[in-house]
Structure 1
Amino acid sequence: MSSQRLFAAVLPPEPAADELAGAVAPLHELPGAVNLRWTARAGWHYTLAFLGNVDEELLPGLYTRLERAAHRTEPFPLRIHGSGRFDGRAFWAGAEGGTDTLRLLARRAHAAARKAGVPMEEHRHYTPHLTLARSRDQADLTPYTAALEGFEGMRWEAGELGLVRSNLPVGGVPGEQPRYEVVQAWPLGR
């Protein structure tokens, strides 16, 4: 039985990603930046629920339940805003706007996966974040968060829930990143 590595997400539109790319580019010149694994722009997204490896037989039910979760959630305003970190391991850009609705959508996506039979860890408090870089060890990410803390991206309307497949690197090439592919997307609202 085959499976796919999946997660539910909200993806920023191209103009919002363009703005962020412009703000992040100078950070690559900061001391220690070469030791971080920077997320490729194609990997920028707000993960709502990480599903892990999902058996193919569960996909029809998962699609139905995620579609229902999307339709029950109205579109909401969002923008990439500020920055933060998870210890010394991950540096990220935050979100501002309809973050309560984003959190609600995360809970609904998590519940949809669980009800479709996907083994899910307990749903934890959701921190909206778009991962920009990771560290293999405890890096001092303070210069990066400080440089991006005032970032105020353009406002946009989050209007769809995406189910994304993560294709992990298999070539063993240093620096190779996962490839992300939206396999299904559902408009928010009715």
Structure 2
Amino acid sequence: MRLFAAVLPPPAATVELAAAVAPLHALPGADQLTWTGRAGWHFTLAFYGEVEPETLPELYTRLGRAAHRNGAFQLRLKGGGTFSNRVLWAGASGGLPPMRRLAESAAAAGRRAGVSMEQHRVYTPHLTIARNRTDIDLAPYAAALATFEGQAWRAGELSLVRSNPPQPGVPGARPRYDTLTSWPLGE
């Protein structure tokens, strides 16, 4: 199964972001982007890819330890940006140092559990809003989010999430995410 560790924003934060994102759907080319929905909004901390079922008990143990060693922190959704004109994202502010430490702990938990972490990169906190598979310039979209700043919220859990790919051949189908389990931070 395809897994990742994440911090999930609370519903109030996703409502705020949805209100900021709604006007972007009126920008030129918006209908050609693949938009993520509120149900899929998350901050990926560590991407594990395909994980064998027999690895899960050790991964659960390691992630539980990582959560215990990292305390809760304040976050807020803020601004936006792009990755190589392929991904439009919303950023974060507030407890970024503890979030980065949690991301490193989640990646280390995966490695110690035997998960191949070959795709591990320097952590950039972001929440994916849309993907661009065309040549649409995402700069105006990111600029429209530049002044967005949501209310602060407490990030208090580390979640292990399963990614279910979209159904092939279904226009507009999106991946579905199921939280397998969560651990409270610092407890």
TM bracket (short chain): over 0.9
Q: 1:45 — aligned with what?
A: 42
Q: 2:56 — aligned with what?
A: 59
1:117 is displaced (CA, Å) by: 0.5
Q: Note the alpha carbon deviations across 1:46-73, whole angstroms, 9 max, x for none.
A: 0001100100000000000000000100
Whole-Å separation in 2 of the counterparts to 1:120 and 1:146 = 33
- Which residue of 93, 96, 106 corresponds with 1:96? 93
Whole-Å separation in 2 of the counterparts to 1:100 and 1:19 = 24
Tell me how many residue pairs correspond in the alignment. Answer: 187
Q: Note the alpha carbon deviations across 1:27-56, whole angstroms, 9 max, x for none.
A: 101111011000011110000011001000
1:139 is displaced (CA, Å) by: 2.7
Q: Any conservation in 1 of the 2:32–2:134 contact (CA below 8 Å)? A: no
Q: 1:172 — aligned with what?
A: 169
Whole-Å separation in 2 of the counterparts to 1:32 and 1:170 = 24
Whole-Å separation in 2 of the counterparts to 1:122 and 1:153 = 30
Q: Note the alpha carbon deviations across 1:153-173, whole angstroms, 9 max, x for none.
A: 010000000000011123420
Whole-Å separation in 2 of the counterparts to 1:127 and 1:169 = 25
Whole-Å separation in 1 of the counterparts to 2:143 and 2:168 = 35
Q: 2:80 — aligned with what?
A: 83
Q: Any conservation in 2 of the 1:88–1:137 contact (CA below 8 Å)? A: no
Unmatched 5+ residue regions in structure 1?
none
Whole-Å separation in 2 of the counterparts to 1:62 and 1:138 = 39
Q: Any conservation in 1 of the 2:17–2:150 contact (CA below 8 Å)? A: yes
Runs of 4+ in 1 over 6 A off after TM superposition: none
- Which residue of 2, 6, 9 corresponds with 2:3? 6
> RMSD over aligned Cα, in angstroms?
0.9
**SS class of match (2:177):** strand
Q: 2:66 — aligned with what?
A: 69
Q: Note the alpha carbon deviations across 1:88-115, whole angstroms, 9 max, x for none.
A: 1000000000001111111000000010
* % identical aligned pairs: 63
Q: 2:113 — aligned with what?
A: 116
Q: TM-score, normalised by structure 2?
A: 0.98
Q: Any conservation in 2 of the 1:82–1:94 contact (CA below 8 Å)? A: yes
1:123 is displaced (CA, Å) by: 3.3
**SS class of match (1:137):** coil
Q: Aligned letter for 2:172? A: G
Q: Aligned letter for 2:18? A: A
1:122 is displaced (CA, Å) by: 5.6
CA pair 138-80 structure 1, distance change in 2 beyond 3 A: same
**SS class of match (1:183):** strand
Q: Aligned letter for 2:12? A: P
